[in-house]
């Protein structure tokens, strides 16, 4: 994982766990091969996605480098392992699926791709997905700017960047769109869990989030219809 990033989210682990949204089950239906004996989840964080993965596999190994995120991990029956995506603590050919949910863009390439190829059995699946805000009008573009402008093209969420020499088939792609009706304050709290906002000092962050709150078109009930897109990728290990 890229330097410094593994500790940024740990500083807001509790808020991250409370406000981040799980990948929809409909996306996991497409991402997870069946049957699936063992899945390795990279960048498992506090276990937001892990809990849902347990419905799809006999065994889930959650891999997370940040000690503060691991301290907030609360999924029973899952083995939590210490390590980055570039040095996965799993034996060769030890997984049917390696999956990164909202985390692949943080991994250093080509090393992470090669590590996944080592850990997957031939015929196993590499999958990645992101929940991304849908920018449908002026307020959404302005409100979510810290999310959409945080990364350069080589690390943009929603892109499955793979090492050119990795033994994977041409990736498949799917998009799901959905709407979450949420209190305006919840959306502001969610925005505060993204890296560009975390990096602000406390006063700057408060002033910024107050400004962003004023952009939200909340109705009389204080609720906002926020539209999201789940971007999904999967590819198969072709073997040697």
- For the chain, the domain total comes to 1
Pairing mode of beta strands 79-82, 95-101: unpaired
Cβ partners under 8 Å of residue 192, min gap 6: 12, 15, 19, 198, 205, 209
pTM beyond cutoff 0.75: yes
Q: Tell me what pLDDT residue 3 has.
A: 39
For the chain, the average pLDDT equals 89
What is the CATH number for 124?
A: 3.40.50.150
Task: Examine the pLDDT at 218 and tell me if it is beyond 80.
Answer: no
Q: Tell me what pLDDT residue 4 has.
A: 44
Q: Tell me what pLDDT residue 135 has.
A: 87
Higher pLDDT, 233 or 147: 233
Q: Tell me what pLDDT residue 154 has.
A: 62
Give me 168's structure tokens: 């994977």
Q: Residue 116's domain spans which residues? A: 5-236
> How remote is the C-alpha of 167 from its chain's centroid?
23
Name the pLDDT band for 6 (thresholds 50, 70, 90).
very low
């Amino acid at each position: 994982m890229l330097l410094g990033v593994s500790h940024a989210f740990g500083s807001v682990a509790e808020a991250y766990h409370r406000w981040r949204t799980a990948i929809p089950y409909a996306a996991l239906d497409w991402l997870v091969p069946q049957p699936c004996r063992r899945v390795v989840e990279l960048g498992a964080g506090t276990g937001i996605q892990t809990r849902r993965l347990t419905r799809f596999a006999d065994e889930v190994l959650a891999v997370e480098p940040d000690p503060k995120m691991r301290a907030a991990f609360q999924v029973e029956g899952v083995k939590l392992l210490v390590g980055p995506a570039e040095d996965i603590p799993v034996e060769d050919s030890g997984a049917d699926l390696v999956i990164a949910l909202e985390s692949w863009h943080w991994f250093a390439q080509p090393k992470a791709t090669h590590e996944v190829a080592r850990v997957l059995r031939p015929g196993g699946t590499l999958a990645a997905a992101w929940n991304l805000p849908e920018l449908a009008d002026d307020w959404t573009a302005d409100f979510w700017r810290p999310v959409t402008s945080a990364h350069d093209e080589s690390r943009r969420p929603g892109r499955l960047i793979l090492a050119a020499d990795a033994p994977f088939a041409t990736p498949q792609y799917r998009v799901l769109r959905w709407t979450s009706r949420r209190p305006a304050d919840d959306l502001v709290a969610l925005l505060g869990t993204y890296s560009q906002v975390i990096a602000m000092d406390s006063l700057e962050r408060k002033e910024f989030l107050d400004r962003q709150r004023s952009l939200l078109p909340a109705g009389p009930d204080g609720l906002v219809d926020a539209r999201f897109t789940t971007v999904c990728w999967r590819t198969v290990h072709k073997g040697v």
